[in-house]
Structure 1
Amino acid sequence: MVREILRVTNISCGCNKVMVTVEDGSNFIADAVIITMPLGILKANFIEFEPKLLDRKVTAISDLGVGNENKIALRFNNVSYPCLYGSRAFVYDLEKLSDEFAANFVML
């Protein structure tokens, strides 16, 4: 079951189940949960975790920075990378390239 646009207040793990409590008091129980949230929400401790997060995880979260992200689209008149056909061929063909060429290609 996928739920969107619900404000989570508590995530409780135990007995091979996860219980997620949302703002209106409703509870959802599942085998596993995937949660996506902005880093600012996580840093502000709006969500209570049970058991509490390990100190090293709390420290890592607090050390992460929040900032603006920009997307850049580039258009090239000439192709400067090898002509590879199909997404499945990409990784396979990239492995055939020399180490130096592959490193330079990835760094573009």
Structure 2
Amino acid sequence: MSDAFLPDAPLREALASPAAWARRLAYATAAGVFLGAVGAFGTFVAAPLANRVADWVVMFWVGTLLYPVVTALAVIQGHRWGISAWFSVPFAVSLASLPMTLASI
């Protein structure tokens, strides 16, 4: 990614590093397997173990891939428009929650 697109070095490193993405997806997989195995939030009555684990892992992967990208884009665009990250990040999280809600149905 070009320096002009991601002006902040830590942000650029976090989004462009394959190692960072692999680490995030590994953590997301572990969390999804754990929550699927214990049947968190009442899912133990809704589906068998394999379905629960698959559902939780997919939801964590979607969130892991969606939220950092949308948040980074909001910070970058907010910086261009002179809007504080304190406003743009909550807006981005709210916006990213819409597809997450649809994915969880």
Q: Which has the higher helix share?
A: 2
Give the alignment's TM-score, normalised by structure 2: 0.21
Give the alignment's TM-score, normalised by structure 1: 0.21
- Which has more radius of gyration? 1
Q: Which has the higher strand share?
A: 1
Higher RCO, 1 vs 2 (CA within 8 Å, ≥6 residues apart):
2
